[in-house]
Structure 1
Amino acid sequence: MRPSDPPAPTPVPTEVPEATWLARQAAHERRVDAWVAPHRGRRKDQRRHPVEDFLFTYYSHRPARLRRWHPGAGVVLAGEAARRTFLHGRDYVEVAGGVMIDPAVLAGRADAIRWIRDLLTATRGRPASFGCFGLHEWAMVYRLPQERVRHAGWPLRLGAEGTDRVVESQRIRCSHFDAYRFFTEPASPLNTLRPTRETQLDLEQPGCLHANMDLYKWAYKLAPHVPSELVADCFELAREIRTLDMRASPYDLRALGHEPVPIETPEGRAEYAGAQRDFSVRAQALRDRLIDACDGLLSLIDPLARARSDRPGPQARSDCSDCSDCSTPARTRP
């Protein structure tokens, strides 16, 4: 902002009555409990589910954080219950009429918000590709002995040799770095692309199952500044995508009620691509909501902080890409 520019107007917070936000909070907790309770039960019994537990182990957002409701930035929660519920942490402050997320906390997130918006916008602007057929999961077990595959407790539907033949007979075109980096060493050169963290903004495309699953990651990285309902919507889509991801994988999960999508056949590839298209449409709607949320958050940040978010360079990228979700150890690979 130049010295002669007038100060930007301060947005007026939206006040939500106590009964209204309490109802939203309760609805969110009920919704999330349906996902979290079975996961906690399996963890207590030391059981693992390759589909249902994935979002809780691959991503860094813990179940308790997913369950906790937030209204988003620029919202004042009225009533004594808001003071009891939200003022014990560092994110909220007391204001006239209730409590709200501290604007100072939001201002410190400008670079991260801008990076997320840039990635989402770049992805939205590209044509969707539907020709990968889920071969990333097959490339992750290519030429590995059964005891070394990620889900060693589940058999390979075609056996090791049959799985390897599928990988060798198909064209692999994976654009998503966080899938490609888990390819086995002999599978990596078979990919037609060489995605890296640095090329993520250049390669991410809206037909990719993992890019669309990652909408959940970008949503919770914007928390608590976006409504928890948006985070839950992204989680819900990611759960459905993960189901297709594993049905099309080389694993035989029929004992869990998941019929395979046999991508080694023309019929299976057609089924996969059709489901992929449907997910892409739904993901684009969520991507638009996340972009709108980023724009809204940046408009709430003071002009100096907003100007800092415009600076190019490694710092703007590292706030979002250099994190535990993007450096997941091999033991938690997909």
Structure 2
Amino acid sequence: MTTEVLERATWRARAAAHAARVDVFLEPHLARCGASVKHPVHDFLFTYYSHRPAQLRRWHPGYGAVLADAPEYDGLKGYRDGGVTDEFVAAQARFVRGLLNLLRATEARPAHTGCFGLHEWAMVYRQSPDELRHNAWPLRLGATGTDEVVEQHQVKCTHFDAFRFFTPPARGLNVLQPARDDRPAFEQPGCLHAGMDLYKHAFRLSPMIGSDLVADCFELARDIREMDMRAAPYDLVGLGFEPIRIETPEGKATYVREQRRFAERGAPLRRRLIEECERLLEVGCRTSPSS
């Protein structure tokens, strides 16, 4: 593996540019946290996913680059002498191989665009007001109207990490029953949650991949989350989010159009993650063939 040495002035400039890029999103979130204010849309990437704001802000060049004069990185996970080590990459081979399998399987499928975001509706199906996850915000159609939308549509969620939050009476309405261990058999690129999860996959590969790719996936996930919640049953007009009324033909058409657009945006990011996994596994196989 060819090693690129980045002089301190060079990598410091790149790190500062990365911090400035993500601070646009981090600073409002941290301000809300300080004021104990919750945001049902923009907090999601920091509360659902395990990557903390400080971790997102930390810039990594990725495996194959060495930072000259970089005491700030001493002791960080995976690092030695300013770079991510072969040994660390080799130790992650099992995880990387599993992720590669999932990404390839997802990429190989056509995008399905007929779910209409009903996963969010199924998460509140037959719940009382106190049980709603975002109970500070009203349901656009009320509880009865929301339940009727679920009952009048075919629910076909392919994503386990959305399906597992369905209410008990909603789970049996889903035409699929995805499980934790069979994600490669179900995930497909039209799924909004599969698109958001590109961010999860990217930060879990950190620090072995560059932070530019992590930030690209974060920005995609943030945009998807906005659309996801615009199509949800909640009334978020007060936060500036006009609803996508998926209970109407016009709303369904809008949802499908946006779903396809996000699938197109996610495809090159998924491909980059696949290529990074392949590159990292070359190191793992060379260093530890039995891993």
Instruction: Give the TM bin, normalised by the shorter chain.
Output: over 0.9
Is 1:75 aligned to residue 65 of structure 2?
yes
Question: Given the alignment, which residue of 78, 96, 108 partners 1:91?
Answer: 78
Question: Given the alignment, which residue of 11, 15, 19 partners 2:9?
Answer: 19
SS at match of 2:169: coil
**How far off is 1:301 after superposition?**
2.6
Aligned to 1:241: 224
SS at match of 1:15: strand
**How far off is 1:50 after superposition?**
0.4
SS at match of 1:258: coil
Letter in 1 for 2:63: A
**How far off is 1:28 after superposition?**
0.3
Q: Distance in 1 between matches of 2:145 and 2:158?
A: 25
Go from structure 1 to structure 2 and tell me whether the alpha carbon gap of 1:203 and 1:213 turns closer, same or farther (over 3 Å shift). Answer: same
Q: TM (normalized to structure 2)?
A: 0.98
Is 1:186 aligned to residue 169 of structure 2?
yes
Q: Distance in 1 between matches of 2:77 and 2:46?
A: 24
Q: Distance in 1 between matches of 2:170 and 2:75?
A: 50
Question: Given the alignment, which residue of 180, 183, 206 partners 1:223?
Answer: 206
Aligned to 1:48: 38
Query: Which runs of structure 2 are paired with 1:98-247 in the superposition (5 Å)?
Result: 99-247=82-230
Q: Per-residue displacement from partner, 1:1-23 (whole Å, max 9, x unpaired)?
A: xxxxxxxxxx2212223222111
Unaligned runs of 5+ in 1: 1-10, 310-334
Q: Distance in 1 between matches of 2:25 and 2:84?
A: 27
Aligned to 2:22: 32
Q: TM (normalized to structure 1)?
A: 0.85
Letter in 2 for 1:92: Y
Letter in 2 for 1:182: F
% identical equivalent positions: 54
Q: Answer yes or no: is the 8 Å Cα contact 1:142–1:163 preserved in 2.
A: yes
Letter in 1 for 2:73: F
**How far off is 1:38 after superposition?**
0.7
C-alpha RMSD of the superposition = 1.1
Q: Distance in 2 between matches of 1:174 and 1:90?
A: 36
Larger Rg: 1
Query: Which runs of structure 2 are paired with 1:294-309 in the superposition (5 Å)?
Result: 294-303=277-286, 305=288, 307-309=289-291
Aligned to 1:7: none
Q: Per-residue displacement from partner, 1:235-260 (whole Å, max 9, x unpaired)?
A: 00000000000000000000000000
Aligned to 1:328: none
Is 1:276 aligned to residue 259 of structure 2?
yes
Go from structure 1 to structure 2 and tell me whether the alpha carbon gap of 1:90 and 1:205 turns closer, same or farther (over 3 Å shift). Answer: closer
SS at match of 1:241: helix
Q: Answer yes or no: is the 8 Å Cα contact 2:121–2:232 preserved in 1.
A: yes
**How far off is 1:302 after superposition?**
4.7
